[in-house]
Chains A and B, each alone.
Chain A
Amino acid sequence: KQEVTQIPAALSVPEGENLVLNCSFTDSAIYNLQWFRQDPGKGLTSLLLIQSSQREQTSGRLNASLDKSSGRSTLYIAASQPGDSATYLCAATPGEYGNKLVFGAGTILRVKS
């Protein structure tokens, strides 16, 4: 059974700092891995999706990497801003062709101005 773990559970950083959020998964047989952002009381917004054949994806100040062999993914946020404050969730899609996401519990990020 696939399990996804995110470390740290919470993170507080000063504005402008570069930061890394970590995600690990127990079964390397994944179809893809996604990172989401969730603002308080809101739904999930997809940030980056990495297919199993890819090593990384970039969007603006965000870069996500995937290492299937070690069961790890990282989300790198450059030059953090107060507007980046949110909960960040990673989710793995198990199997060769899967549709069901398995989520981590999330990292609550606070960027202080």
Chain B
Amino acid sequence: NAGVTQTPKFRVLKTGQSMTLLCAQDMNHEYMYWYRQDPGMGLRLIHYSVGEGTTAKGEVPDGYNVSRLKKQNFLLGLESAAPSQTSVYFCASNAGGYGYTFGSGTRLTVV
């Protein structure tokens, strides 16, 4: 089925550990995004990409890095996890100016 696939779906990290979240889309979308969702708050943009090989900072980029080596994949890295990064992470893609498709999310807990 066409869409956005996120892996893993759940993860528990210890403070200071690193990890990479993978987002893959098969709709040939140019734009891809990483958001985080915290209780009582809307989704906030971490980083985004407007095409293969490009990345840009969003609203809350500190502590995260991203890469878009292939058009269909957008990776989000946590270099040294902190409890404040406990959240649900969503990847999304779109063709630019039109409707978004979201992944089902990754629930990350940092202890």
A positions within 8 Å CB-CB of B: 4, 31-32, 34, 36, 41-46, 49, 89, 91, 93, 97-106
Does the CB pair A43–B104 fall under 8 Å? yes
Does the CB pair A99–B48 fall under 8 Å? yes
Does the CB pair B42–A106 fall under 8 Å? yes
The residue that A97 contacts in the complex, of B41, B48, B90, B97, with Cβ under 8 A, is B97
Query: What is the minimal beta-carbon distance from A83 to any residue of chain B, in angstroms?
Result: 19
Q: Enumerate B39-62 residues with CB–CB distance to A below 8 Å.
A: 40-45, 48, 50, 58
Query: What is the minimal beta-carbon distance from A18 to any residue of chain B, in angstroms?
Result: 25
Query: What is the minimal beta-carbon distance from B78 to any residue of chain A, in angstroms?
Result: 20
- Which residues of the other chain, A, contact B33 by a CB distance below 8 angstroms? 99-101
- Which residues of the other chain, B, contact A104 by a CB distance below 8 angstroms? 42
Q: Enumerate B58-108 residues with CB–CB distance to A below 8 Å.
A: 58, 90, 92, 94, 96-105
- Which residues of the other chain, B, contact A36 by a CB distance below 8 angstroms? 102
B positions within 8 Å CB-CB of A: 31, 33, 35, 40-45, 48, 50, 58, 90, 92, 94, 96-105
The A-B contact count (CB < 8 A) is 60
User: A103-B42, A103-B43, A103-B44 are known contacts. Are A32 and B97 too (CB-CB below 8 A)?
Assistant: yes
Query: What is the minimal beta-carbon distance from B59 to any residue of chain A, in angstroms?
Result: 8
Most buried by B among A45, A99, A100: A99
